[in-house]
Homo-oligomer: A and B are copies of this chain.
Amino acid sequence: MCIIQNMRMSQGVEWALHTCLNLTYVESGQAVPTAALAKFYALPPAYLNKHLQALVRAGILSSTPGPRGGFRLARRPEAISLLDVVTAIEGSGEAFPCDQILREGPGGRPDVDYRHACVIAGAMRHAELAWRRELAGRSLADIRAEVETRYPDTPRNTRERFAALLG
């Protein structure tokens, strides 16, 4: 009966955010392979690796092949925003798809780009900017600080799990 749907970002965003956050607890210089990062949350390794590759392309992670290789943060946690991670996985395209239906409307002209001229598209873009601004204002370091305030065991738990997985 209903066609109601949900604008959803891919689950990979969740994987990427948690994985990046965990990597802030790895002593710098040490790389973590896909297999260990996947086991951390029981994620499918091959597919998680695709997302890790996207994070490397975005300059958020760096990768090293070979034994003792894997992934590590490419920048300090203070310099990685939630928006950086979201954009790396989801792309920077707008959530409101302006198909420029005004072209077919009265007074519509084929030479006008209604993605810019349309007031509705502008309003939707404006709202998305507010969303991006919020995400850009929060770094992995901010998130980590809040986590440690609310769940003091997290650093120990995380490091122990990594130790076990890398053992």
Contact = CB atoms under 8 A, between A and B. Distances in A.
A113 interface: no
A82 interface: yes
User: Do most interface residues of chain A lie in helix, strand or loop, or is the interface mixed?
Assistant: helix
How many copies of the polypeptide does the oligomer hold? 2
A61 to B, nearest CB: 15
A17 B7 CA distance: 16
Interface residues of A, number: 66
Interface string A1-38: 01111111111111101100100000000000000000
Given A6-B90, A107-B151, A130-B133, 11 more contacts: A3-B50, A4-B89, A7-B7, A7-B8, A14-B98, A18-B102, A41-B102, A43-B101, A120-B143, A123-B135, A123-B138
